[in-house]
Structure 1
Amino acid sequence: MPGKLFPLGGPVPEKDVVDREDFIFSLQTRLAEGQSIMLAGPRRIGKTSLAYEVLRRGKKQGFYTVSVDFFRLSDKRDFAVSLINACLENRTGVRRTIDVLKDRAKSIAGTAKITLKLEDLEFGIGFLADEKNDNVLLDYALDLPNVLAKRDKKSVIVLFDEFQDASRVVDADIYKKMRSHFQNQESVAYMFLGSKEGIMDTLFGNRKEAFYRFATILPIPPIPENAWIKYIIERFSHRGINTEYEIIKEILNRTGGHPQDTMLVCSEIFYALLEAEENTITPGIVRLGYDRALITLTPVYDEILDELSQRFKVRDVLKRIAFGKSVYAKNINPNEAKRAVDHLVSKAIIQKKGRGSYTFVEPMFQEYILREFF
Structure 2
Amino acid sequence: MPGKLFPLGGPVSEQDVVDREEFLSSLQIRLSEGHSIMLAGPRRTGKTSLAYEVLRRMKKQGFYTASIDLFRLSNKREFAISMINSCLENRTGIRKTFDAMKDRAKTIAGMARLTVKLEDLEFSLKFLDETNDDTLLDYALDLPEVLAKHDRKPMVVLLDEFQDALRITDVNIYKKMRSYFQNHQEVSYLFLGSKEGMMNILFSNRQEAFYRFATILPIPPISEKSWMGYITKKFAERKIKVSTEIIKEILKNTGGHPHDTMLVCSETYYALLEAEKNVVTHGLFRLGYDRALQTLVQVFDEVLDELSQRFQVRHILKRIAAGENVYDKKLNPNETKRVIDFLVSKIIIEKTGRGSYRFVEPMFQEYILREFS
TM range (shorter): over 0.9
Query: Offset at 1:356?
Result: 2.8
1:6 aligns with 2:6: yes
Contact 1:115 1:125 (8 Å CA) reproduced: no
User: Structure 1, unaligned stretches of length 5 or more?
Assistant: none
Give CA deviations for 1:20-62 in whole Å, capped at 9, x if unaligned: 0000000000000000000000000000000000000111111
Equivalent position of 1:236 in the other structure: 235
User: Structure 2, unaligned stretches of length 5 or more?
Assistant: none
Equivalent position of 1:81 in the other structure: 81
Equivalent position of 2:94 in the other structure: 94
Contact 2:159 2:190 (8 Å CA) reproduced: yes
Give CA deviations for 1:169-211 in whole Å, capped at 9, x if unaligned: 1121111111110001111000000011111111111111111
Query: Offset at 1:287?
Result: 0.9
Equivalent position of 2:328 in the other structure: 329
Q: Output aligned runs, 1:115-154, within 5 Å.
A: 115-130=115-130, 132-154=131-153
Query: Offset at 1:285?
Result: 1.1
Identical amino acids, percent of aligned pairs: 71
Moved more, 104-113 or 139-148: 104-113
Equivalent position of 1:343 in the other structure: 342
Give CA deviations for 1:265-289 in whole Å, capped at 9, x if unaligned: 0001000000000000011111111
RMSD: 1.2
Moved more, 295-304 or 96-105: 96-105
Contact 2:85 2:96 (8 Å CA) reproduced: yes
Contact 2:105 2:111 (8 Å CA) reproduced: no
CA distance in 1, matches of 2:344, 2:135: 39
Give CA deviations for 1:200-245 in whole Å, capped at 9, x if unaligned: 1111111111111100000000011111010011000000101111
Contact 1:196 1:346 (8 Å CA) reproduced: no
Q: Partner of 2:242: helix, strand, or coil?
A: coil
Equivalent position of 1:220 in the other structure: 219
**TM-score when normalising by structure 2:** 0.98
Name the aligned partner's letter for residue 189 of structure 1: S
Contact 1:196 1:348 (8 Å CA) reproduced: no
Give CA deviations for 1:132-188 in whole Å, capped at 9, x if unaligned: 111100010000000011111111000000111111111211111111100011110
Q: Output aligned runs, 1:1-374, within 5 Å.
A: 1-103=1-103, 107-130=107-130, 132-374=131-373
Give CA deviations for 1:317-351 in whole Å, capped at 9, x if unaligned: 11111112232212221222122122222322222
Q: Partner of 1:311: helix, strand, or coil?
A: coil
Flag the 1:353–1:172 CA change in 2: closer, same or farther, 3 A.
farther
Give CA deviations for 1:65-113 in whole Å, capped at 9, x if unaligned: 0100111010110100100000000000000001111225653212211
Q: Partner of 1:192: helix, strand, or coil?
A: strand
Contact 2:246 2:282 (8 Å CA) reproduced: yes
CA distance in 2, matches of 1:56, 1:63: 9
| Displacement over 6 Å in runs of 4+ | none
Contact 2:128 2:136 (8 Å CA) reproduced: no
Name the aligned partner's letter for residue 64 of structure 2: Y
**TM-score when normalising by structure 1:** 0.97
Contact 2:203 2:213 (8 Å CA) reproduced: yes
Name the aligned partner's letter for residue 292 of structure 1: R
